[in-house]
Homo-oligomer: A and B are copies of this chain.
């Protein structure tokens, strides 16, 4: 990704737009075909002096005038005459930004596909691997590790679908000319815009969007959401990898500069760092929609680095998360052991529900609560306490109590949910 959003990549994208513009105008008959081909042929970033363009960019607060000067001077007069014809700097930069975004999205959606595959593998493989479900970081009820992975899977798939949607619907060509009227192209403006969209394989917008920045803001938000999905997975991994939990560990844990025994969840840490950071440029893009009149004096110029950064960070989060999950080491024994640590009290809801069907929810909560208090004070087992309470044994037999205390029997729709997640994934994985 670093390459896809480098200064060189941005420069090439701008040149791609200049080349496509010339070709689109040739197709429409506005520019001579030979001139267009000469322009297109000259649009290789390696021929340009990136540093100088960067330096001169300061003068205009954008790099396009300098780029156009270099491009023009590299061409014979009859082609040079047609460079940048009818366009304005923002046309080039905005369209280039869409190309950069597209390349970035392709990498990230591929990352997400890999991450989803890793989730799906874990969901399938650990469909029945019992572990404690934790709410507010307290053990709550048994779940399976497969269900947790299925939850990750659905989130990853939905984030990917949204990015694919943004890619298809919101990456649009920008061509408006100096003030959005396409005046310099006379009657042919919209025709050229349509041809340019075809050349660049970008959507054709209803109007030029030079000061309508929702598509950039939405792109940033969708990327941050994808990063956030990876971040949630990494957070779970960090928590499950804690010394006292130890239910998972990374395949290639990180070392410490001083502690030889440390097995740090380094990948998860990096995913979390990237995911949390991605929110900043995404939030910035949401706040940069206030473009003045026909071109913004600051909000527009701030978009380029923000978009670059949110692409980089999201890619960092999603790519590394995939590697992390693919290599994840799952300790099923430890999961069972942790479940056993909480022991029967974890099954309190199960007993409550069995009882509630007979005596009502409120009364059942009360009865089971009393038993739990006795467990805590007397250090007996919940089963013992339940069996000594006539309020309970009057309604539940010993066998029913035993059944209610069995974690594997109290998983509800876990298996069906995993099926649903895998089925939805299979469907969504079809080529777009």
Which of chain B's residues have a CB closer than 8 A to the CB of A241? 137-138
For residue A262, CB closer than 8 A to chain B, the reply is yes
Q: A353–B212 Cα gap in the complex (Å)?
A: 27
Which of chain B's residues have a CB closer than 8 A to the CB of A262? 135-136, 138, 140
Give the contacts of A368-418 with B (CB-CB under 8 A). Answer: 368-369, 372, 410-414, 416-417
Q: A306–B352 Cα gap in the complex (Å)?
A: 35
For residue A34, CB closer than 8 A to chain B, the reply is no
Nearest CB of B to A315, in Å: 14
For residue A155, CB closer than 8 A to chain B, the reply is yes
Which of chain B's residues have a CB closer than 8 A to the CB of A212? 151, 154-155, 158, 229, 232
Contact at A290–B275, with CB atoms within 8 Å?
yes
Segment from A3-11, A43-51, A109-117, A340-348 that makes contact with B: A340-348
How many monomers of this chain does the complex have? 4
Chain B: CB-nearest residue to A78: B360
Q: Count A-side interface residues using an 8 Å CB cutoff.
A: 165
Give the contacts of A323-372 with B (CB-CB under 8 A). Answer: 338, 341-342, 345-346, 348-350, 352-353, 356, 359-363, 365, 368-369, 372
Q: A92–B257 Cα gap in the complex (Å)?
A: 10
For residue A60, CB closer than 8 A to chain B, the reply is yes
Q: Identify which of B229, B239, B258, B275 contacts A184 (C-beta below 8 A).
A: B258
Nearest CB of B to A188, in Å: 9
Residue from the set A136, A187, A287, A372 with the largest chain B CB neighbour count within 10 Å: A136
Contact at A286–B68, with CB atoms within 8 Å?
no
Give the contacts of A156-186 with B (CB-CB under 8 A). Answer: 158-159, 162, 177-186
Which of chain B's residues have a CB closer than 8 A to the CB of A148? 293-294
For residue A238, CB closer than 8 A to chain B, the reply is yes
For residue A429, CB closer than 8 A to chain B, the reply is no
Chain B: CB-nearest residue to A75: B362
Contact at A252–B59, with CB atoms within 8 Å?
yes
Which of chain B's residues have a CB closer than 8 A to the CB of A264? 60-61, 135-136, 138
Residue from the set A151, A229, A342 with the largest chain B CB neighbour count within 10 Å: A151
Nearest CB of B to A369, in Å: 4
Which of chain B's residues have a CB closer than 8 A to the CB of A265? 136-138, 297
Give the contacts of A248-294 with B (CB-CB under 8 A). Answer: 252, 254-277, 279-284, 286-294
For residue A41, CB closer than 8 A to chain B, the reply is no
Q: A261–B351 Cα gap in the complex (Å)?
A: 12
Which of chain B's residues have a CB closer than 8 A to the CB of A213? 228, 232
Which of chain B's residues have a CB closer than 8 A to the CB of A92? 257
Q: A92–B287 Cα gap in the complex (Å)?
A: 29
Contact at B85–A260, with CB atoms within 8 Å?
no
Contact at B225–A136, with CB atoms within 8 Å?
no
For residue A118, CB closer than 8 A to chain B, the reply is no
Contact at A257–B135, with CB atoms within 8 Å?
no
Nearest CB of B to A351, in Å: 9
Contact at B298–A273, with CB atoms within 8 Å?
yes
For residue A189, CB closer than 8 A to chain B, the reply is yes
Nearest CB of B to A185, in Å: 6
Which of chain B's residues have a CB closer than 8 A to the CB of A289? 225, 228-229, 231-232, 275
For residue A202, CB closer than 8 A to chain B, the reply is no
Give the contacts of A207-238 with B (CB-CB under 8 A). Answer: 207-209, 211-214, 217-218, 221-222, 224-225, 228-229, 231-232, 234-236, 238
Q: Identify which of B72, B137, B217 contacts A221 (C-beta below 8 A).
A: B217
